[in-house]
Amino acid sequence: MSECETFFSDQMNTPLGTAIVVADQNGALHMFFWEDQADTWRKRFHHRNGAAVVVPRRDPFGHIARLKRYFEGEIVALKEISVVLRGTPFQKKVWSALRTIEGGTTLSYGALARRIHEPKAVRAVGVANGSNPVGVVVPCHRVIGSDGSLTGYGGGLARKRWLLEHEARHSPWRLEMSA
């Protein structure tokens, strides 16, 4: 019988709706998702982690406070949040690379595939990007189509557009696309 893991969750109001965060006992963030997608993410979380208990806790490890700073315009606050990325080696490679995309900038799926030294894996990069369990903090919203179009975002394209515009307004980096 496997040991049951304990996780802590909290929710916060954002300009884009209610967000939910889930962290482990060591303070690492495992999930960030929008409340309107909670059923989907809960199923993925329980399937991925096996025996797990999720306990409500106010601002576990200061993640809510850091996310509030982000939504107030301090884009770099996301870098202060420790995450655990559980997935296949390829998914983890993609998700780690997402954290290297600076706020206020974007990258195409093709450029992201080249960045991880898998230039022919553009579609696989898109699939991994779409299964990112730590949205916003692991900024999958910064990945766009090679033509500059906003494509796929689990939280919806309106949220993706808002996040990119928010980051462009508050970032020292200039919003530009790398093809």
Q: Which CATH number fits the domain that encloses residue 67?
A: 3.30.160.70
Q: What values do phi and psi take at 50, rounded to 5?
A: 65, -130
Q: Is residue 176 part of a domain?
A: no
Distance from C-alpha of 38 to C-alpha of 44, rounded to nearest angstrom: 10
Distance from C-alpha of 1 to C-alpha of 128, rounded to nearest angstrom: 31
Q: Please write the tens of the pLDDT for every residue from 74-96.
A: 999 999 999 999 999 999 999 99
Q: Is residue 112 part of a domain?
A: yes
CA 167 to chain centre: 14
pTM listed for this prediction: 0.87
Same-domain pairing of 63 and 120 = no
46/24: higher pLDDT: 24
pLDDT computed for residue 38 by the predictor: 60
pLDDT computed for residue 74 by the predictor: 94
pLDDT class for 1, splitting at 50, 70, 90? very low
Distance from C-alpha of 136 to C-alpha of 51, rounded to nearest angstrom: 26
91 Cβ partners below 8 Å, 6+ apart? 85, 128, 131
Q: Please write the tens of the pLDDT for every residue from 116-167.
A: 999 999 999 999 999 999 999 999 999 999 888 998 888 889 999 999 999 9
Distance from C-alpha of 22 to C-alpha of 170, rounded to nearest angstrom: 26
Q: Is residue 59 part of a domain?
A: yes
Do 143 and 106 touch, CB atoms closer than 8 A? yes
pLDDT computed for residue 44 by the predictor: 58
Q: Tell me the three state secondary structure of residue 87.
A: coil
User: Of 2-6, 81-85, 153-157, 175-179, which gets the smallest average pLDDT?
Assistant: 175-179
User: How confident is the model over 46-61, as a mean pLDDT?
Assistant: 74
Q: Active-site residues: which are they?
A: 140
Same-domain pairing of 97 and 31 = no
pLDDT class for 178, splitting at 50, 70, 90? low
Q: Is residue 138 part of a domain?
A: yes
Residue 155 domain boundaries: 89-170
pLDDT class for 35, splitting at 50, 70, 90? confident
CATH code at position 163: 1.10.10.10
Last residue within a domain, chosen from 80, 107, 135: 80
Whether pLDDT at 9 is above 80: yes
Same-domain pairing of 65 and 133 = no
Q: Please write the tens of the pLDDT for every residue from 107-119.
A: 999 999 999 999 9
Same-domain pairing of 109 and 129 = yes
Q: How many domains does the chain have?
A: 2
User: How confident is the model over 97-112, as a mean pLDDT?
Assistant: 94
Instruction: Report the DSSP beta bridge partners of residue 53.
Output: 6
pLDDT computed for residue 53 by the predictor: 80
pLDDT computed for residue 175 by the predictor: 47
